């Protein structure tokens, strides 16, 4: 049970690309006070939790509405996630540090920086798979843990910015990209196997 929880937690955390989220958060909140930074981090965490659980629980109805099979969506979502991982490894474009709106917590920090197409696709796939009540509770706990971990990282952004150089953040981002591409490849292979069987 604990092994499955830890696996789900780590998988979800890496898919949310915490180091890219951190570097984006630092860039976007560079001119804010420490109190505003903490408030923004809390808002991002709440927005990520709400959006992730909405996609997880109601994504299966989108399957039914458009007549999409689970294996087809696995292949599509895995491909999008794989491309996101490749982009991270190659170096993602920098985020504009002068946002047009005052509140940046929901857009763009929560959506689409943290909860991007890859995260949405993975949650829709996992939400459509049949689960027992224990498995559902376990996955929800892992999802909440991953989202809260992102929040803790953002709350610690000031300290992490002093500890880590831009080069270190770039290296960590590339390592995250490698893990993301591996997870994406597994999702695609599972979809192809299910489609062929």
Give 142-159 pLDDT, tens digit per residue: 999 999 999 999 999 988
Domains of the chain: which residue ranges?
2-196
Question: What's the rounded Cα separation, in Å, for the pair 183 and 128?
Answer: 18
Question: What's the rounded Cα separation, in Å, for the pair 3 and 9?
Answer: 10
- Record: fold of 2-196: Growth Hormone; Chain: A; (1.20.1250)
Question: What's the rounded Cα separation, in Å, for the pair 32 and 38?
Answer: 10
Cα-based distances in Å from 196 to 31, 47, 142, 156: 53, 38, 31, 46
Higher pLDDT, 91 or 90: 90
Q: What pLDDT is recorded for position 102?
A: 59
153-156-161-163 Cα dihedral, nearest 10 degrees: -100
Question: What's the rounded Cα separation, in Å, for the pair 193 and 197?
Answer: 6
Q: For 64-85, what is each residue's pLDDT tens digit?
A: 888 888 788 888 888 887 887 8
**Is the pTM above the cut of 0.85?**
no
């Amino acid at each position: 049970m604990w092994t499955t929880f830890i696996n789900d937690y780590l998988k979800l955390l890496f898919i949310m690309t915490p180091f890219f989220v951190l570097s984006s958060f630092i860039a976007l909140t560079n001119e804010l006070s420490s109190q505003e930074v903490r408030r923004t981090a809390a808002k991002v965490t709440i927005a990520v939790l709400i959006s992730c659980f909405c996609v997880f629980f109601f994504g299966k109805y989108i399957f039914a509405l458009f007549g999409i099979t689970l294996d087809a969506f696995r292949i599509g979502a895995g491909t999008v996630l794989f491309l996101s991982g490749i982009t991270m490894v190659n170096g993602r474009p920098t985020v504009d540090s002068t946002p047009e709106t005052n509140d940046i917590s929901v857009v763009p920090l929560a959506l689409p920086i943290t909860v991007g197409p890859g995260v949405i696709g993975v949650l829709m796939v996992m939400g459509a798979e049949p689960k027992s009540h224990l498995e559902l509770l376990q996955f929800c706990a892992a999802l909440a843990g991953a989202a809260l971990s992102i929040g803790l990282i953002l709350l610690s952004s000031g300290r992490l910015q002093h500890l880590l150089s831009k080069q270190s953040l770039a290296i960590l981002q590339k390592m995250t990209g490698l893990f993301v591409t591996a997870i994406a490849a597994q999702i695609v292979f599972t979809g192809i196997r299910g489609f062929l069987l």
